[in-house]
Copies of this chain bind each other. A is one copy, B any other.
Amino acid sequence: MSELENFFSRCRRSVDKTLDELLPDEQTEPMRLHEAIRWSLFGGGKRFRPALVVAVGSSFGASEEKLLRTAAAIEMIHTYSLIHDDLPAMDNDDLRRGRPTCHKKFDEATAILTGDVLQTLAFQAIAEDERLDTRIRVKLILEISRAAGTPAGMVAGQQLDLEAEGKGVLIEELERIHHRKTGAIITVSARAGAIIAEADSKELEEITRFAAHLGLLFQITDDLLDVTQTTKVLGKTAGKDASAEKATYPAIYGLKQAQILAENIHGQARETLNKIDKPTKVLGELADFILNRKT
């Protein structure tokens, strides 16, 4: 295993253990709700966002145990957004991480409530984290809520994305959507790690720049995989961006140019790391990993 694979696999184990501690068990009423929560959270998933929290936080000197609850909270918010995005009224998808989506496995009402309560549990997990100063907990909740909300966060991006379907949007609009829909949570994952490590404002600015590149890279490769990979490999329905006439990078730039763009952004992400006077080896490998990912 490479150093990054090692890091990823250690990180996934710790994050899953933390999630398991934070979530009500399946024998607690309402059992169906708690089954649906665990079904959705423990169904695979790369745990990329929590890994970013831990990787940045560790680079800046925070202990892993201070980072894990916030990492788990961000994964809960990401998972809530997937559950709601998959609903019939939204993207109407049956498959996620290679298994039936939450509303397919359970039912629509349960899926709505599961997403709702994962958001609640995320903020609760941070508010409850006594390893962190109250000042830091407030800062984390503030930044994560802005990144998950509106007008500059994830829900705003999802709304813009739905409205853009079939409309043939321009590049600026595409960037505006993705900056919110996926970029904001990826950026706040990196920032959260730095905030917990009590990085200074210059460091925070540099890590934000790195994360912005990383988020864009993540989105472009996500769009590319939707075109180039099969449903089986992805574990979610492939080719659905095109069939829904979604705004994507390959749709606007073409496949070849979108690939070149991804490589350029990857180079820029790597460059921003040179300015950070910390052990950022894993962060560089994370950027490589995203450029080369196959799922």
When each residue 80-115 of chain A gets 1 if its CB lies under 8 Å from chain B and 0 otherwise, what string results? 100010010110000000000000000111101101
Q: In the complex, what residue of chain B is closest to A148 when comparing beta carbons?
A: B120
Which B residues touch A14, using CB under 8 A? none
Work out how many copies of this chain go into the complex: 2
CA distance A108 to B159 in the complex (A): 12
With A109-B162, A155-B116, A162-B109 as contacts: A30 and B141 at CB distance below 8 Å:
no
Q: Is A28 an interface residue (CB 8 A)?
A: yes
Q: Is A44 an interface residue (CB 8 A)?
A: no
**Residue total for A at the interface (Cβ-Cβ under 8 A):** 51
Which B residues touch A29, using CB under 8 A? 151, 156, 160, 176
With A34-B150, A117-B150, A120-B119 as contacts: A127 and B141 at CB distance below 8 Å:
yes
Q: Is A123 an interface residue (CB 8 A)?
A: yes
Q: In the complex, what residue of chain B is closest to A139 when comparing beta carbons?
A: B127
Q: Which of A130-138, A248-256, A257-265 contacts B (4 or more CB under 8 A)?
A: A130-138
Q: Is A33 an interface residue (CB 8 A)?
A: yes
Contact check, A142 vs B120: say whether CB atoms are below 8 A apart: no
Contact check, B119 vs A156: say whether CB atoms are below 8 A apart: no
Kindly identify which residue among B115, B121, B128, B142 contacts A150, using a CB–CB cutoff of 8 Å. B121
Q: In the complex, what residue of chain B is closest to A173 when comparing beta carbons?
A: B29
